Structure 1
Amino acid sequence: MTEFPHIIRSPLSQSFTHDGLTVRVEIYKIEGTDGWTLELIDEDGGSTVWQDAFATDADAFAEFTDGVEQLGLDRLINPDDDDLATVH
């Protein structure tokens, strides 16, 4: 039987609403590894995951809030090609 790795969820994970849109901000890492993953889950269950890992969960959350400030939440969960090059 295969054992699944233990996932550590950051206390910074939360629901976030901006401009009428709500997402679940999930920040997590696999126990024993370096790097935190940033994932946004929209109201329809769609997922946007950043490709690069972050050194800390606070770095991941700062990337999320900077993205909301610069692009808006809608473009974070529905990025176009230009957004993918600069944010994710």
Structure 2
Amino acid sequence: MTENEQQYEFSEFSGEFVDDDIMVTIGIYRPAGSNADWTLEVVDQEGYSTVWDDQFATDRDAFQEFLATVHRDGIRSFLDQSIRTVH
């Protein structure tokens, strides 16, 4: 199976998130049928993506990191960015 054919399992924490009238889509996922760590990706309204370099042992840990980032940096920190990674 090629990378483009990879199937993913999405966490129940995935979905739309709105703060300060800004909506982003949270993707917390891992390869389907695996016990791999979770990837955290946030996509803004324009389709630009922010992907964390680090993966997370649980989907809840990934979601908590997203919330901490919003609290620390604000929801606007995800806007107008080309594809980037976060450490």
In the superposition, the TM-score normalised over structure 1's length comes to 0.80
2:9 match: secondary structure: strand
Unaligned segments of structure 2, at least 5 residues = none
Matching residue of 2:71: 69
Q: Does 1:44 align with 2:59?
A: no
Give 1 or 2 for the bigger CA radius of gyration: 1
Alignment partner, residue 14 of structure 2: 13
TM-score with structure 2 setting the length: 0.81
The structure with more helix, counted as a fraction of residues: 1
Aligned length: 81
Runs of 4+ deviating beyond 6 Å = none
- What SS does the aligned partner of 1:23 have? strand
Structure 1: 5+ residue runs without aligned partners? Answer: none
What residue is the counterpart of 1:24 in the other structure? 25
The whole-number CA distance in structure 2 between the counterparts of 1:53 and 1:30 is 12
Identity %: 39
Could you say what the CA RMSD is over the residues aligned between the two structures, in angstroms? 2.2
